[in-house]
Amino acid sequence: MMTIDVETLRTWLEEGQPVAILDVRPTAERAEWAIPGSLHVDAYDALKAHDPAALAVVDVPSDQPVVTVCAAGKTSQIAAEQLAARGVPAISLVGGMKAWSLAWNTAEVPLEDRSARVIQVRRTGKGCLSYLIGAGEEAFVIDASLDPHVYLNMARSQGWQITSVFDTHIHADHLSRSRQLAERSGAMLFLPDQRRVSFPFTAMRDGDTLATEHLRLTALHTPGHTLESTCYLLNNALLFTGDTLFPTSIGRPDLHADEREARARSALLYHSLHKLLALPSETLVLPGHASQPVPFDGKPIGAQLSEIDEHVGLLHATRTVFVETLLQRLPPTPPNYERIVTLNEAGLVPDHDVTELEAGANRCAIS
Protein backbone atom coordinates (compact mmCIF):
# COMPACT_ATOMS: atom_id res chain seq x y z
CA MET A 1 0.00 0.00 0.00
CA MET A 2 1.44 3.35 -1.01
CA THR A 3 1.21 6.09 1.58
CA ILE A 4 2.57 9.60 2.07
CA ASP A 5 3.35 11.29 5.36
CA VAL A 6 2.39 14.82 6.37
CA GLU A 7 5.92 16.21 6.09
CA THR A 8 6.31 14.96 2.50
CA LEU A 9 2.91 16.24 1.39
CA ARG A 10 3.45 19.65 2.96
CA THR A 11 6.86 19.90 1.27
CA TRP A 12 5.31 19.02 -2.11
CA LEU A 13 2.67 21.69 -1.63
CA GLU A 14 5.18 24.29 -0.49
CA GLU A 15 7.41 23.51 -3.47
CA GLY A 16 4.44 23.66 -5.83
CA GLN A 17 4.82 20.08 -7.07
CA PRO A 18 1.82 18.79 -9.03
CA VAL A 19 -0.45 16.81 -6.74
CA ALA A 20 -4.20 16.38 -6.43
CA ILE A 21 -5.73 15.88 -3.00
CA LEU A 22 -8.99 13.98 -2.67
CA ASP A 23 -10.82 14.42 0.62
CA VAL A 24 -13.27 11.53 1.20
CA ARG A 25 -14.69 12.64 4.56
CA PRO A 26 -18.36 13.36 5.19
CA THR A 27 -19.37 16.89 4.13
CA ALA A 28 -19.99 18.01 7.73
CA GLU A 29 -16.42 17.16 8.77
CA ARG A 30 -14.99 18.97 5.78
CA ALA A 31 -16.96 22.08 6.71
CA GLU A 32 -14.94 22.34 9.92
CA TRP A 33 -11.59 22.40 8.12
CA ALA A 34 -9.92 21.03 5.01
CA ILE A 35 -6.68 21.09 3.05
CA PRO A 36 -6.75 24.22 0.85
CA GLY A 37 -7.33 23.34 -2.82
CA SER A 38 -8.39 19.76 -2.12
CA LEU A 39 -11.15 18.01 -4.09
CA HIS A 40 -14.00 16.48 -2.16
CA VAL A 41 -16.31 13.53 -2.50
CA ASP A 42 -18.52 12.44 0.37
CA ALA A 43 -17.69 8.75 -0.08
CA TYR A 44 -17.05 7.88 3.53
CA ASP A 45 -19.97 5.48 4.12
CA ALA A 46 -19.61 3.79 0.74
CA LEU A 47 -15.88 3.27 1.24
CA LYS A 48 -16.42 1.93 4.75
CA ALA A 49 -18.89 -0.53 3.28
CA HIS A 50 -16.27 -1.49 0.66
CA ASP A 51 -18.66 -0.52 -2.12
CA PRO A 52 -16.46 -0.98 -5.22
CA ALA A 53 -18.33 1.87 -6.92
CA ALA A 54 -17.65 4.30 -4.05
CA LEU A 55 -15.44 6.53 -6.18
CA ALA A 56 -16.86 5.61 -9.59
CA VAL A 57 -18.09 9.12 -10.31
CA VAL A 58 -14.96 10.88 -9.10
CA ASP A 59 -12.96 12.63 -11.75
CA VAL A 60 -9.29 12.80 -10.74
CA PRO A 61 -6.27 13.70 -12.85
CA SER A 62 -4.30 10.68 -14.06
CA ASP A 63 -1.05 12.54 -14.79
CA GLN A 64 -0.14 13.41 -11.20
CA PRO A 65 -0.23 11.70 -7.82
CA VAL A 66 -3.60 11.74 -6.07
CA VAL A 67 -3.39 11.88 -2.28
CA THR A 68 -6.49 10.55 -0.56
CA VAL A 69 -7.39 12.01 2.83
CA CYS A 70 -9.83 11.07 5.57
CA ALA A 71 -10.06 11.81 9.29
CA ALA A 72 -7.42 9.40 10.55
CA GLY A 73 -5.91 7.66 7.50
CA LYS A 74 -7.87 4.41 7.32
CA THR A 75 -10.75 5.07 4.93
CA SER A 76 -8.37 7.00 2.69
CA GLN A 77 -6.41 3.75 2.21
CA ILE A 78 -9.51 2.04 0.85
CA ALA A 79 -9.99 5.03 -1.43
CA ALA A 80 -6.38 4.85 -2.65
CA GLU A 81 -6.74 1.13 -3.37
CA GLN A 82 -9.90 1.70 -5.40
CA LEU A 83 -8.27 4.48 -7.42
CA ALA A 84 -5.11 2.42 -7.93
CA ALA A 85 -7.24 -0.41 -9.31
CA ARG A 86 -8.41 2.11 -11.94
CA GLY A 87 -4.83 2.96 -12.81
CA VAL A 88 -4.76 6.26 -10.90
CA PRO A 89 -1.46 6.89 -9.07
CA ALA A 90 -3.14 7.21 -5.67
CA ILE A 91 -1.54 7.34 -2.24
CA SER A 92 -3.09 7.71 1.18
CA LEU A 93 -2.18 10.42 3.72
CA VAL A 94 -0.89 8.69 6.86
CA GLY A 95 -2.81 9.79 9.95
CA GLY A 96 -5.36 11.75 7.92
CA MET A 97 -6.53 15.21 8.96
CA LYS A 98 -5.58 14.47 12.56
CA ALA A 99 -1.92 14.25 11.55
CA TRP A 100 -2.35 17.15 9.11
CA SER A 101 -3.01 19.36 12.13
CA LEU A 102 0.79 19.76 12.42
CA ALA A 103 1.36 20.66 8.76
CA TRP A 104 2.76 24.12 8.12
CA ASN A 105 3.90 26.51 5.46
CA THR A 106 5.69 29.84 5.36
CA ALA A 107 5.34 33.32 3.90
CA GLU A 108 7.87 36.10 4.07
CA VAL A 109 6.58 39.50 5.13
CA PRO A 110 7.85 42.11 2.64
CA LEU A 111 9.66 44.87 4.53
CA GLU A 112 10.90 48.25 3.39
CA ASP A 113 13.71 48.15 5.90
CA ARG A 114 15.83 45.24 4.66
CA SER A 115 17.98 45.03 7.79
CA ALA A 116 15.48 42.56 9.28
CA ARG A 117 13.46 39.70 7.79
CA VAL A 118 10.17 38.32 9.09
CA ILE A 119 8.92 34.85 8.18
CA GLN A 120 5.33 33.98 9.03
CA VAL A 121 5.16 30.29 9.94
CA ARG A 122 1.60 29.02 9.55
CA ARG A 123 0.11 25.84 10.92
CA THR A 124 -2.18 25.52 7.95
CA GLY A 125 -4.92 23.37 9.46
CA LYS A 126 -5.33 25.12 12.77
CA GLY A 127 -4.48 28.53 11.40
CA CYS A 128 -1.92 29.23 14.15
CA LEU A 129 0.54 31.89 13.00
CA SER A 130 4.00 32.18 14.49
CA TYR A 131 6.90 34.38 13.46
CA LEU A 132 10.62 33.98 12.93
CA ILE A 133 12.28 37.39 12.91
CA GLY A 134 15.92 37.47 11.87
CA ALA A 135 18.59 40.13 11.53
CA GLY A 136 22.36 39.82 11.38
CA GLU A 137 23.12 36.54 13.10
CA GLU A 138 20.23 36.36 15.52
CA ALA A 139 16.53 35.69 15.53
CA PHE A 140 13.44 36.11 17.68
CA VAL A 141 10.42 33.80 17.59
CA ILE A 142 6.88 34.86 18.53
CA ASP A 143 4.08 32.43 19.48
CA ALA A 144 5.82 29.15 18.57
CA SER A 145 3.12 26.55 17.88
CA LEU A 146 5.18 23.87 16.14
CA ASP A 147 7.88 21.51 17.29
CA PRO A 148 11.12 23.42 18.10
CA HIS A 149 13.01 21.69 15.28
CA VAL A 150 10.90 23.55 12.70
CA TYR A 151 12.13 26.94 13.94
CA LEU A 152 15.65 25.71 14.69
CA ASN A 153 16.10 24.32 11.16
CA MET A 154 14.63 27.39 9.55
CA ALA A 155 16.84 29.73 11.58
CA ARG A 156 19.93 27.62 10.89
CA SER A 157 19.28 27.68 7.15
CA GLN A 158 19.27 31.50 7.30
CA GLY A 159 22.40 31.66 9.45
CA TRP A 160 20.49 32.89 12.50
CA GLN A 161 20.73 31.84 16.11
CA ILE A 162 17.42 32.06 18.02
CA THR A 163 18.15 34.26 21.03
CA SER A 164 14.72 35.33 22.28
CA VAL A 165 11.35 33.62 22.31
CA PHE A 166 8.06 35.40 23.06
CA ASP A 167 4.41 34.54 23.60
CA THR A 168 1.66 37.13 23.20
CA HIS A 169 -0.53 35.42 25.81
CA ILE A 170 -1.33 32.13 27.48
CA HIS A 171 -2.93 30.29 24.57
CA ALA A 172 -6.15 28.31 24.84
CA ASP A 173 -6.45 26.73 21.40
CA HIS A 174 -3.02 25.18 20.91
CA LEU A 175 -0.08 24.11 23.03
CA SER A 176 2.63 26.74 23.17
CA ARG A 177 6.03 25.36 22.14
CA SER A 178 7.84 28.51 23.30
CA ARG A 179 9.21 27.09 26.53
CA GLN A 180 10.54 24.00 24.71
CA LEU A 181 11.99 26.14 21.92
CA ALA A 182 13.75 28.40 24.43
CA GLU A 183 15.24 25.36 26.16
CA ARG A 184 16.37 23.73 22.93
CA SER A 185 17.88 26.92 21.48
CA GLY A 186 19.29 28.39 24.68
CA ALA A 187 17.16 31.50 24.05
CA MET A 188 15.60 33.73 26.69
CA LEU A 189 11.89 33.11 27.24
CA PHE A 190 9.76 36.25 27.43
CA LEU A 191 6.10 36.13 28.46
CA PRO A 192 3.64 38.86 29.34
CA ASP A 193 3.82 39.74 33.03
CA GLN A 194 1.36 37.43 34.86
CA ARG A 195 1.17 34.87 37.61
CA ARG A 196 -0.53 32.13 35.65
CA VAL A 197 2.42 30.01 34.55
CA SER A 198 4.40 27.87 36.97
CA PHE A 199 7.80 27.91 35.22
CA PRO A 200 10.52 30.58 35.03
CA PHE A 201 10.35 33.30 32.38
CA THR A 202 11.32 36.93 31.90
CA ALA A 203 8.30 39.22 32.21
CA MET A 204 7.43 41.75 29.51
CA ARG A 205 5.55 44.69 31.00
CA ASP A 206 3.87 47.50 29.14
CA GLY A 207 6.59 49.57 27.44
CA ASP A 208 9.41 47.08 28.04
CA THR A 209 11.78 47.00 25.09
CA LEU A 210 14.28 44.42 23.96
CA ALA A 211 16.81 45.89 21.57
CA THR A 212 19.64 44.34 19.57
CA GLU A 213 21.67 45.89 16.77
CA HIS A 214 18.85 45.58 14.20
CA LEU A 215 15.77 44.56 16.18
CA ARG A 216 13.80 46.63 18.62
CA LEU A 217 10.77 44.93 20.15
CA THR A 218 8.46 46.80 22.50
CA ALA A 219 5.67 45.27 24.56
CA LEU A 220 2.24 46.89 24.59
CA HIS A 221 -0.02 45.47 27.27
CA THR A 222 -3.44 44.99 25.65
CA PRO A 223 -5.72 43.13 28.08
CA GLY A 224 -9.06 41.84 26.82
CA HIS A 225 -8.71 38.54 24.97
CA THR A 226 -6.93 37.47 28.15
CA LEU A 227 -5.83 39.72 30.99
CA GLU A 228 -2.13 39.35 30.22
CA SER A 229 -2.47 39.66 26.41
CA THR A 230 0.41 41.69 25.02
CA CYS A 231 1.20 42.95 21.54
CA TYR A 232 4.78 43.40 20.35
CA LEU A 233 5.83 46.31 18.18
CA LEU A 234 8.91 45.60 16.05
CA ASN A 235 11.08 48.47 14.79
CA ASN A 236 8.07 50.81 15.06
CA ALA A 237 6.61 49.23 11.93
CA LEU A 238 5.23 45.76 12.59
CA LEU A 239 2.71 44.90 15.28
CA PHE A 240 2.36 41.28 16.41
CA THR A 241 -1.12 41.22 17.91
CA GLY A 242 -1.64 37.61 19.02
CA ASP A 243 -5.41 37.15 19.45
CA THR A 244 -6.17 40.81 20.22
CA LEU A 245 -6.63 42.15 16.69
CA PHE A 246 -6.95 40.39 13.33
CA PRO A 247 -7.07 41.77 9.77
CA THR A 248 -10.87 41.50 9.67
CA SER A 249 -11.92 40.84 13.26
CA ILE A 250 -11.09 41.20 16.94
CA GLY A 251 -10.25 38.78 19.75
CA ARG A 252 -12.83 37.01 21.88
CA PRO A 253 -12.92 38.03 25.52
CA ASP A 254 -14.74 35.16 27.14
CA LEU A 255 -12.56 32.05 27.42
CA HIS A 256 -12.07 31.07 31.02
CA ALA A 257 -14.56 33.75 32.08
CA ASP A 258 -18.11 33.92 33.41
CA GLU A 259 -20.48 36.55 32.04
CA ARG A 260 -19.40 39.30 34.44
CA GLU A 261 -15.75 38.63 33.71
CA ALA A 262 -16.39 38.51 29.95
CA ARG A 263 -18.13 41.89 30.21
CA ALA A 264 -15.20 43.37 32.13
CA ARG A 265 -12.72 41.96 29.64
CA SER A 266 -14.74 43.32 26.71
CA ALA A 267 -14.40 46.80 28.20
CA LEU A 268 -10.64 46.27 28.63
CA LEU A 269 -10.42 45.04 25.05
CA TYR A 270 -12.16 48.20 23.86
CA HIS A 271 -9.47 50.35 25.47
CA SER A 272 -6.66 48.07 24.28
CA LEU A 273 -7.86 48.23 20.67
CA HIS A 274 -8.06 51.99 20.78
CA LYS A 275 -4.54 52.09 22.19
CA LEU A 276 -3.40 50.12 19.13
CA LEU A 277 -5.36 52.34 16.75
CA ALA A 278 -3.39 55.31 18.07
CA LEU A 279 -0.22 53.88 16.46
CA PRO A 280 0.74 55.16 12.99
CA SER A 281 -1.91 54.02 10.48
CA GLU A 282 0.64 52.33 8.21
CA THR A 283 1.69 49.93 11.01
CA LEU A 284 1.42 46.38 9.70
CA VAL A 285 -0.66 44.11 11.94
CA LEU A 286 0.50 40.47 12.00
CA PRO A 287 -1.98 38.36 13.96
CA GLY A 288 -1.66 35.11 15.91
CA HIS A 289 -4.32 33.23 13.96
CA ALA A 290 -6.03 32.84 10.63
CA SER A 291 -9.72 31.98 10.64
CA GLN A 292 -9.42 29.63 7.63
CA PRO A 293 -6.90 26.91 6.73
CA VAL A 294 -3.88 28.78 5.39
CA PRO A 295 -3.15 28.16 1.68
CA PHE A 296 0.35 27.26 0.47
CA ASP A 297 0.49 30.55 -1.40
CA GLY A 298 3.45 32.29 0.24
CA LYS A 299 1.24 35.31 0.93
CA PRO A 300 1.57 36.65 4.47
CA ILE A 301 -1.60 37.19 6.49
CA GLY A 302 -1.73 40.72 7.82
CA ALA A 303 -3.14 44.18 7.21
CA GLN A 304 -2.27 47.78 7.86
CA LEU A 305 -3.94 49.40 10.85
CA SER A 306 -5.69 51.83 8.50
CA GLU A 307 -7.29 48.95 6.55
CA ILE A 308 -8.47 47.26 9.73
CA ASP A 309 -9.80 50.56 11.02
CA GLU A 310 -11.78 50.87 7.81
CA HIS A 311 -13.16 47.31 7.68
CA VAL A 312 -13.88 46.36 11.28
CA GLY A 313 -16.95 48.42 12.07
CA LEU A 314 -16.99 47.49 15.75
CA LEU A 315 -13.86 49.58 16.24
CA HIS A 316 -16.02 52.66 15.71
CA ALA A 317 -18.78 51.72 18.14
CA THR A 318 -19.15 53.38 21.52
CA ARG A 319 -17.81 51.38 24.41
CA THR A 320 -21.30 50.30 25.49
CA VAL A 321 -22.32 49.13 22.02
CA PHE A 322 -18.93 47.42 21.59
CA VAL A 323 -19.31 45.44 24.81
CA GLU A 324 -22.94 44.40 24.18
CA THR A 325 -22.21 43.40 20.57
CA LEU A 326 -19.19 41.35 21.58
CA LEU A 327 -21.12 39.46 24.24
CA GLN A 328 -23.83 38.60 21.72
CA ARG A 329 -21.42 37.31 19.11
CA LEU A 330 -19.30 34.94 21.21
CA PRO A 331 -18.50 31.85 19.15
CA PRO A 332 -18.53 28.36 20.71
CA THR A 333 -15.50 27.66 22.90
CA PRO A 334 -12.66 25.67 21.29
CA PRO A 335 -12.56 21.95 22.13
CA ASN A 336 -10.36 20.93 25.07
CA TYR A 337 -9.40 24.53 25.83
CA GLU A 338 -9.36 24.01 29.59
CA ARG A 339 -6.91 21.13 29.29
CA ILE A 340 -4.79 23.13 26.84
CA VAL A 341 -4.70 26.14 29.19
CA THR A 342 -3.68 23.89 32.10
CA LEU A 343 -0.82 22.43 30.05
CA ASN A 344 0.28 25.86 28.84
CA GLU A 345 0.27 27.18 32.40
CA ALA A 346 2.46 24.23 33.37
CA GLY A 347 4.64 24.68 30.26
CA LEU A 348 4.11 21.08 29.18
CA VAL A 349 3.74 19.51 25.75
CA PRO A 350 2.70 15.85 26.10
CA ASP A 351 4.58 13.24 24.03
CA HIS A 352 1.42 11.76 22.56
CA ASP A 353 -2.17 12.69 21.71
CA VAL A 354 -1.13 16.27 20.95
CA THR A 355 -3.16 16.39 17.75
CA GLU A 356 -6.14 14.89 19.58
CA LEU A 357 -5.98 17.74 22.10
CA GLU A 358 -5.53 20.43 19.49
CA ALA A 359 -8.12 19.03 17.07
CA GLY A 360 -10.45 21.33 15.20
CA ALA A 361 -10.36 24.80 13.82
CA ASN A 362 -9.34 27.93 15.67
CA ARG A 363 -12.05 29.89 17.43
CA CYS A 364 -10.23 32.83 18.95
CA ALA A 365 -11.80 35.63 16.92
CA ILE A 366 -15.11 37.43 16.67
CA SER A 367 -16.07 38.76 13.28
Determine the interface stretch with Fe ion among 24-32, 150-158, 196-204, 239-247 (rule: CB under 5 A).
239-247
Interface with Fe ion, residue 228, by CB under 5 A: no
Determine the interface stretch with Fe ion among 9-17, 50-58, 63-71, 241-249 (rule: CB under 5 A).
241-249
Kindly tell me which of 167 and 243 has the beta carbon lying closer to Fe ion. Answer: 243
Interface with Fe ion, residue 364, by CB under 5 A: yes
Interface with Fe ion, residue 58, by CB under 5 A: no
Query: Phi and psi (nearest 5°) for 102?
Result: -95, 5
Minimum CB separation from Fe ion for residue 251, in Å? 7
Strands (E), the chain: 3-4, 20-23, 39-40, 66-69, 90-93, 104-109, 117-123, 128-135, 138-142, 161-166, 188-192, 202-204, 209-211, 216-221, 230-234, 238-242, 250-251, 284-287, 303-304, 365-366
Minimum CB separation from Fe ion for residue 8, in Å? 31
CB distance 202 to 179 below 8 Å: no
Kindly tell me which of 308 and 365 has the beta carbon lying closer to Fe ion. Answer: 365
Kindly tell me which of 129 and 364 has the beta carbon lying closer to Fe ion. Answer: 364
Torsion of CA 135, 287, 234, 209, to 10 degrees: -110
Determine the interface stretch with Fe ion among 47-55, 240-248, 324-332, 339-347 (rule: CB under 5 A).
240-248
Minimum CB separation from Fe ion for residue 233, in Å? 19
Residue of 70, 128, 231, 364 marked catalytic: 70
Determine the interface stretch with Fe ion among 4-12, 52-60, 82-90, 243-251 (rule: CB under 5 A).
243-251
Nearest 5°: the CA angle 142, 149, 208 is: 20
Kindly tell me which of 25 and 221 has the beta carbon lying closer to Fe ion. Answer: 221
Minimum CB separation from Fe ion for residue 169, in Å? 6
The contacts of residue 12 (CB under 8 Å, 6+ apart) are: 19
Spell 262-300 as b/e; 16+ CB within 10 A means b. bbbbbbbbbebbeebbebeeebbbbbbbbbebbbbeeeb
Minimum CB separation from Fe ion for residue 145, in Å? 11
Q: Is 128 annotated as catalytic?
A: no
Kindly tell me which of 25 and 363 has the beta carbon lying closer to Fe ion. Answer: 363
- Encoded one letter per residue, x for contact with Fe ion by CB under 5 A and - for no contact, window 280-319 reads ----------------------------------------
3-state secondary structure of 235: coil
The count of chain residues that interact with Fe ion, using the rule CB under 5 A, is: 2
User: Taking CB positions, which residue lies at the least distance from Fe ion?
Assistant: 243
Provide the pairing of β-strand 3-4 with 39-40: unpaired
Kindly tell me which of 44 and 240 has the beta carbon lying closer to Fe ion. Answer: 240
Minimum CB separation from Fe ion for residue 222, in Å? 12
How many Å from the N-terminal Cα to the C-terminal Cα in the chain?
44
For 314, counting Cβ atoms within 10 Å of its Cβ (0-12 exposed, 13-18 middle, 19+ buried), the class is middle
Nearest CA to 277 among 243, 316, 326?
Answer: 316
Interface with Fe ion, residue 243, by CB under 5 A: yes
Kindly tell me which of 160 and 190 has the beta carbon lying closer to Fe ion. Answer: 190
Interface with Fe ion, residue 175, by CB under 5 A: no
What is the binding site for Fe ion (CB under 5 A)?
Answer: 243, 364
**Which residues are identified as catalytic?**
70
